[in-house]
Amino acid sequence: MEKTVQLYEGKAKKVYATTDENLVIVDYKDDATAFNGLKKGTISGKGVINNRVTNFLMQLLEKNGVPTHFVEEISERETVVKKVSIVPLEVIIRNISAGSFAKRFGVEEGIVFDEPTIEFSYKNDDLGDPLMNSYHAIALKLATKEEIETIKSLAFKVNEVLKAYFLSIGIELVDFKLEFGKTSDGTIVLADEISPDTCRFWDSKTHEKLDKDRFRRDLGNVEDAYIEIRKRLLGE
């Protein structure tokens, strides 16, 4: 299997076709954006860290019964994944109030919920990824009712596995965004990435932010936060 043409370039990754029609290669960039591309920058070394961290977490999830698109890491920044058609929904799970939740409902950050919440955004940059509920997603034929049910139960399973794992390394999993894809035979699998770009991680003791909020909010020490997450997860 070999890399052929570039299929797509997103804000944080490039995707290449391969000589195997069922596989693609993702290539993680150091580019960082926030607020739908309004804020732009570079986080040096981010691509390498997000590749390693995502692959570690995808394998942990596979071991715990969550099907994912992961196939094989082939270099510092590149990974072979199953070719899927992405369900155009951002699936957000929250354990603690933060970010847009705190803003929308006028509450402080840091309220620990009794139960996790789930929400969907329509993955559409031109519209600014508007919030939608599952009925809207079904009406717009973004997914079937059955697919939405599968996505919801997988997303909560991901939360159970990751929340417990992060707690064991001294990190509170505040919230995160997932994307799912459909393989050629119609199976729903976890896709995209799970990294400090797409999760909020707070140190359990100090509550220090160890994720992309350091970039979004100009808090400084952005690279160090990514390095700390890699170190706690991978010991490197």
Residue 200 engages ligand TMP in binding (rule: CB under 6 A): yes
Residue 176 engages ligand TMP in binding (rule: CB under 6 A): yes
Among 45, 67, 88, 99, binds ligand TMP (CB under 6 A): 99
How far apart CA 130 and CA 134 sit, in angstroms, is 13
Q: Which helix (H) or strand (E) holds 34?
A: strand 31-34
Q: Which phi-psi region, left, alpha or beta, contains residue 188 (left: φ > 0; alpha: ψ -120 to 50)?
A: beta
Residue 92 engages ligand TMP in binding (rule: CB under 6 A): yes
Stretch that binds ligand TMP, among 57-65, 77-85, 95-103, 144-152 (CB under 6 A): 95-103
Q: Which helix (H) or strand (E) holds 121?
A: strand 112-122
Closer residue to ligand TMP (CB): 13 or 177: 177
Q: Of 32, 30, 24, nearest to 8 (Cα)?
A: 24
Closer residue to ligand TMP (CB): 17 or 34: 34
Closer residue to ligand TMP (CB): 98 or 154: 98
Please, are residues 61 and 158 in contact by the beta-carbon 8 Å criterion? yes
Smallest separation, CB 229 to ligand TMP (Å): 13
Name residue 161's amino acid: V
Stretch that binds ligand TMP, among 99-107, 110-118, 132-140, 143-151 (CB under 6 A): 99-107
Strand 89-96 and strand 171-182: the pairing is antiparallel
How far apart CA 231 and CA 227 sit, in angstroms, is 6
Closer residue to ligand TMP (CB): 22 or 117: 117
Smallest separation, CB 189 to ligand TMP (Å): 18
The structure tokens listed for 21 are 């029609």
Closer residue to ligand TMP (CB): 16 or 101: 101
Residue 154 engages ligand TMP in binding (rule: CB under 6 A): no
- Rg (the chain; Cα; Å): 17
**Residue of minimal CB distance from ligand TMP?**
99
The structure tokens listed for 181 are 């894809």
Q: Which residues bind ligand TMP (CB under 6 A)?
A: 92, 98-101, 175-177, 198-200
